[in-house]
Amino acid sequence: MIFIADYGAGNLRSVHKAFDYLGIEAVVSDKASEMSRHEKVLIPGVGAFGPAMEAFRKQGFDNAIKEHIDKGRSVLGICLGMQLFLSESEEMGQHEGLGIVPGKVLRFRSSEDKIPQIGWNSADLCRKDSILFRGIPDKSWFYFVHSYYCSPDDPESVAATTFFAGKNFCSAIEKNGIFAVQFHPEKSSEAGLQVLKNFADF
């Protein structure tokens, strides 16, 4: 069963429905103490980094997720949930993140593309041994909604990139059981559902 963390900033219903559609058991909970009972954890998220991180810490999810990872268990971050994994964000000031993935969350700056990025875009896969993208063709399309992007310090942690606002940004992270995607797999048709299934089956 997959534990979906409810810290007040998530697209919980659509993610839970996606797992239900796949026949995968998942539970939504706002109690960090219950996380330790599960092998897999999903951190969803929509909204602003600062308030989300504050709520995440207030409910004790910050320590719980680090303990979860220290036990060698896997976690998947979606959209804002992915960004919380990094060390810091520049969204509306400087905010400290979880530091699970060293790096920064930066704002898109472009005179050509309208920001935020809202809609479908392709993912260029960076590794043949990817777990998240197993069975998914390179350059498959996923649904994005965001104004900020992740810039991990370690290029080896990048599982996919996407081109927007004049740059190839990191759209997926995968390393040592830590998974994250900037797009919304629960809104990304068959390819997105396969990402969720791959995580559940890992």
Query: Residue 81: CA atoms inside 13 Å, Cβ hemisphere, count?
Result: 29
Counted residue by residue, the chain has a size of 202
Distance CA 84, CA 105 (A): 9
The helix (H) or strand (E) run that includes residue 74 is strand 74-78
Q: Rounded mean pLDDT of the chain? A: 95
For each of the domains in the chain, give its residue range(s) and CATH number, in order of start: 2-201 (3.40.50.880)
Q: In the predicted model, what is the mean pLDDT of residues 12-36?
A: 95
d(CA 84, CA 66): 12
pLDDT given at position 10 = 76
**pTM beyond 0.85, yes or no:** yes
Q: Where are the beta strands (DSSP E) in 134-194?
A: 141-146, 148-152, 158-164, 167-175, 178-181
* Residues forming the active site: 79, 184, 186
